[in-house]
Amino acid sequence: MAAIRDDLTYAFGAGRLTPQRQTIAESARSLGRAFTIDDLAEEARYRDPSIGVATVYRAVSAMEATGWLERVGERAGSVLYAQCGAGDRHHHHLVCTSCGRVEPAECPLHDVAAHAATSGFVITNHEVTLYGLCPACLATGS
């Protein structure tokens, strides 16, 4: 069963769930992998051609603010997003560099945080992203 934040009704928090936003959120979920704004706009406009690109940008900003989407890297100058697959739990990401599949990864930074403390730095935030090949892409050799 999915974590509560995976439910579409949480995508926009206190914001309105308009028909356009619903289409955009469903598009994001249906992609099932990391995507650029352009990827998402293409899918959303396939379902409803009247949706403007600016609306997709605004919807992504809103979904990122609630944590329903996360940025997981970049591709050719564009930000890569993925639906958060682990609810509220603190985690990071495995990103398949071939197909874009994304899987949550444990946070490995407890030791490093301790080390940093001895150097005088106080860590307030961190980013971890792993890139590689998912089982499917390994099997097909792509």
Partner DNA sequence: TCCAAAGTGAGAACGATTATCACTTGGCTC
Partner DNA sequence: GAGCCAAGTGATAATCGTTCTCACTTTGGA
Segment interacting with a copy of itself (CB under 8 A) among 35-43, 47-55, 60-68, 96-104: 96-104
Q: How far apart are CA 44 and CA 8, in angstroms?
A: 15
Q: How far apart are CA 34 and CA 70, in angstroms?
A: 10
3-state secondary structure of 30: helix
* Residues between 63 and 102 that touch Mn ion (CB under 5 A): 84, 86
The answer to whether the CB of 94 falls within 8 A of the CB of 86 is no
Q: Of 21, 92, 93, 101, which one interacts with Zn ion (CB under 5 A)?
A: 101
Q: Of 78, 108, 140, 142, which one interacts with a copy of itself (CB under 8 A)?
A: 108
The answer to whether the CB of 82 falls within 8 A of the CB of 6 is no
> What are the beta bridge partners of residue 96?
132
Residue 136 Cβ, how far from Zn ion at the closest point, in Å?
5
Residue 22 Cβ, how far from a copy of itself at the closest point, in Å?
30
Residue 55 Cβ, how far from Zn ion at the closest point, in Å?
30
The answer to whether the CB of 59 falls within 8 A of the CB of 21 is yes
Is 66 near a copy of itself (CB under 8 A)?
Answer: no
Phi–psi pair at 47, nearest 5 degrees: -80, -35
Residue with tokens 């301790």: 114
Is 97 near Zn ion (CB under 5 A)?
Answer: no
Phi–psi pair at 126, nearest 5 degrees: -155, 160
Q: Which residues bind Zn ion (CB under 5 A)?
A: 96, 98-99, 101, 134, 137
Q: Which residues bind a copy of itself (CB under 8 A)?
A: 94, 96-97, 103, 105-106, 108-109, 111-113, 115-116, 119-135, 138
Q: Which residues bind DNA (CB under 7 A)?
A: 12, 15-21, 36-38, 50-55, 57-59, 61-62, 76-79
